[in-house]
Amino acid sequence: MSIVALLVEMLKSGKVTVSANNTPTLEIEAENRKIDINAIDKKIIKTTLEAAKNKKQTTGPFSAIKGKVNQIKTAQNSLSILKGVAEELAQIDATVTFSYKGSRVVTLGTEANPTISNAATGTKTIEVNSLRKLVELSM
């Protein structure tokens, strides 16, 4: 059993709120093979994205170009991982949604119903529900 399938099986139902400095930052709610991850505070998303980028400080005339190339590689790797997870979720008839302040941003798995995002992701298991919110979160 894969880690994704194991997590879906473990999270039968319930709600967890994650706080930092007594301030709620993330809510995770599970029910009927559906998991919603709702970011309440934008800082947690930015911190997670920064950690995923694993920025290395470089100097020299080509450092800016190297930085942009690394960002593109990171985005491609992240999409590949996300695509694999989304397809696995669909295989086990499960859905994970990512929301920001209660507004759904991305849906992965069975309930994904992509339109234009299908062309960008190359899969029918990832739906971008709000491109505006997705861009807002990445800034």
Q: Is the pLDDT higher at 95 or at 121?
A: 95
Any domain includes 69: yes
Q: Cα dihedral sign for 49, 54, 60, 64?
A: negative
CA distances from 63 to 27, 53, 59, 129 (A): 38, 15, 5, 35
Lowest mean pLDDT across 8-12, 122-126, 130-134 = 8-12
Any domain includes 36: no
Give 46-57 pLDDT, tens digit per residue: 776 666 665 555
96: containing domain:
42-138
Express as a percent the part of the chain with pLDDT over 70: 76
Any domain includes 1: no
Any domain includes 95: yes
Any domain includes 31: no
Give 21-80 pLDDT, tens digit per residue: 888 989 999 999 999 999 998 877 777 666 666 555 555 555 655 555 555 555 556 677
Alpha helices in the chain (DSSP H): 3-10, 42-53, 63-91, 117-121, 131-138
pLDDT value of residue 72: 52
Rounded to whole angstroms, the Cα distance separating 84 from 80 reads 6
